[in-house]
Structure 1
Amino acid sequence: MSKVKKQSDKNAPKGQIRIIAGQYRGRKLPVLMADGLRPTTDRVKETVFNWLMPYIQDTICLDCFAGSGGLGFEAMSRGASSVTLVELNKSAAQQLKDNKALLKAESIQVVQKNALDFLQSNQQNYSLVFIDPPFRKGLAQQAAQLLSDKGLTDDALIYVEMETDHNQQIMPSHWQLLKEKIAGQVVYRLYQNSLV
């Protein structure tokens, strides 16, 4: 069964994402069009990075369910000091590595691993985290709970994207909701870790 899956990933058609602003502005990167991978739309990405604009410079960034890497690559383009892209799908992770090489972005690290396992063993504190997991699996809440125990700076910003019909996943009580917006079937929110 897994062999069939791997084969279909390898032969999956490729789409592309566009970096909107910053150092790599206008660059188009190929992405794997595999099951469960849905790149954040340009419209949503633009809104999110408008929210983040005052804070993004020199952040240590983690993209938990990287997929196409659209959020992480955009963060790097706009001044993050380092970006860790965590992606379970082997072919998608390889595409992220290829895109990192294409951009010559040495400050990007690609980790091919289950995001929840990564968070459990993580020793790094991040100042900006993207949580945009595959839908309808309750993964946003699970990732948030693991991050609330360790892995965040005291005032870290956390972006969470989930489906509108499944948006009652509970975030840690010390995460303060700063922004929220709905676009079609997606609700996206920006939280701040408030450990005071």
Structure 2
Amino acid sequence: MSRHRSRPPSRRGRAPQSSGKLRIIGGQFRRRLLSVADSPGLRPTPDRVRETLFSWLAFELAGARVLDLYAGTGALGLEALSRGAGMATFVESATPVARAIEGNLATLGVSGEVIEKDVMAFLAGPATPFGVVFLDPPFRQQRVAPTCRALEDADWLSDPAWVYVEQEAEAPVEVPDNWALHREVAAGDTHGRLYRRQASPPGDACRAPDHGVR
């Protein structure tokens, strides 16, 4: 399952359910409400974080190829399509969640590819470069660093490219040396960082995040 916060089950053994609705906050489909799968712990990126992120990317999305990893509700990829992205590929391993993204693409009348597969298995396959990548894995499962390495090492990124990484606020993140931190935003227990990726450096060294402009 993607984009889940790690939290203990309730006393009745059921995790909290999603609200069932996702709001597009800008672009062609602004204010449209879309259905999301009723799946335990599923969460879209908070509205305030999305508003900030897409203001940073305002001049980068027109015609862009977008990759939404651990897609969950598909909030980031759908928002990018609303704001002019040329195409979006969503990677989501849970069948009902993936089908919900497909339904929302059909509702909006936009084209997009939904791949029902584990993210690391997908990244181990044939690579096609993307100019914008959203990386929002399940919280507290240490998936950020290996996913970033796979994106860089397997040539999934254009030169240059934008990579947005979202994770729990308390966790450090390691990214390849050629990813420069551009901006960062925090909301509650969510911390988002937008990186600008340039040509690959020699070797595969990684570094801890530096401090960009907030």
**Pair 1:46–1:13, CA change in 2 (3 A):** closer
Decide whether the 8 Å contact of 1:14 with 1:32 is kept in 2.
Answer: no
Give the helix-richer structure, 1 or 2.
1
Q: Give 2:22's aligned amino acid.
A: I
Matched, 1:123 2:135: no
Please tell me whether residue 111 in structure 1 is matched to residue 115 in structure 2: yes
**2:165 is the alignment partner of 1:160:** yes
- What is aligned with 1:190? 194
- The alpha-carbon deviation at position 96 of structure 1 amounts to 0.7
Assess if the C-alpha contact under 8 Å between 2:18 and 2:43 holds in 1. Answer: no
Q: Distance in 1 between matches of 2:49 and 2:187?
A: 7
**CA displacement at 1:148 relative to structure 2:** 0.7
Deviation per residue, 1:78-125 (Å, 9 max, x gap): 00000001101111001111111111112x111111011111114210
Matching residue's letter, 2:80: A
Q: Displacement, 1:36?
A: 4.1
SS of match in other structure, 1:32? coil
| 1:36-51 → structure 2 map (5 Å cutoff) | 36-51=41-56
Match of 2:207? none
Query: Per-residue displacement from partner, 1:122-158 (whole Å, max 9, x unpaired)?
Result: 4210000000010011111111110011100011000
Partner in structure 1 of residue 149 of structure 2: 145
Q: TM-score, normalised by structure 1?
A: 0.89
Tell whether the 8 Å contact from 1:13 to 1:33 is kept in structure 2 after alignment: yes
TM-score normalised by L of structure 2: 0.82
C-alpha distance in structure 2 between counterparts of 1:13 and 1:177, whole Å: 31
Output the CA distance in 2 between the equivalents of 1:38 and 1:117.
23
What are the within-5 Å matches in structure 2 for residues 82-121 of structure 1?
82-106=87-111, 108-121=112-125
Alignment of 1:9-88 (within 5 A): 15-88=20-93
RMSD: 1.7
Q: Give the corresponding residue for 1:135.
A: 139
Q: How many residues of Structure 1 are paired with residues of Structure 2 in the alignment?
A: 185
Unaligned runs of 5+ in 1: 1-11
C-alpha change, 1:13 and 1:135, in structure 2 (3 Å) is: closer
In the TM superposition, residue 14 of structure 1 has moved relative to its aligned partner by 5.4
Residue number in structure 2 paired with 1:173: 177
Q: Is the 8 A contact 1:65 1:86 kept in 2?
A: yes
Q: Can you give the 5+ residue segments of structure 2 that lack an aligned partner in the other structure?
A: 1-16, 201-214
Q: Is 2:49–2:185's contact at 8 Å kept on the other side of the alignment?
A: no
Q: Is the 8 A contact 1:37 1:134 kept in 2?
A: no
Percent of residue pairs bearing the same amino acid type: 39
